[in-house]
Amino acid sequence: MNSLILQTASRLLLPLLLLFSFFLLLRGHNEPGGGFEAGLVAAAAFALYAFAYDVTLARQALRFATSTIVGWGLLLAFGSALLPVLLGQPFMTALWYPQELPIIGKLGTPLIFDVGVYLVVVGGTLKVIFSMAEEEER
C-alpha cells in the first residue's frame, strides 16, 4: 500500500510518539505509566512506520535488531533487581540516588528496571509485528 497521507503522517508521528513514550517512561516510577505502557507506544510508532512504508525501512529506522533490544532489556531489568543483592539487601529492593534530578525526579533502580521492561516490550512487540508483516508480504 502506497498512501502518501499515511506515509507523511507516520513520518511526522514517529518522533512525536517516541517523545511521548519517553515521557511515559520517565514519569512511570512516580505516577501512572512506566516501561510497559511506554514500550507499547514506541512499538506502535515503529509499527505505523512499517505499515506506511515497509518492514525493511522500519527495521532500518529502529537501527538495532529486535532480539538485541530484548536482550539488553532483560539484562537491564535483571541487573537492576540484582544490584541490591550485591549490596547486601533483598532481591529487587529499590535503591535511590540521594538527590532529585530535574525532569526525571528520583533516580533509582526502579527506573532502570522500567527501562529494561521498556526495551523488552519494544523488542518483543516489534519482533511479532515485523514477523507477521513479512509473512503477509510473501
**Per residue in 120-135, pLDDT tens?**
999 999 999 999 999 8
Grid cell for residue 62: 529502529
Residue 1: pLDDT band by 50, 70, 90 thresholds?
Answer: low
- How far apart are the two ends of the chain, measured CA to CA in Å? 14
Residues 6+ apart with CB under 8 A from 107: 96, 97, 100, 101
Delimit the domains of the chain by residue range. 4-137
Higher pLDDT pick, 136 / 83: 83
43-70 pLDDT, tens digit per residue, is 999 999 999 999 999 999 999 999 999 9
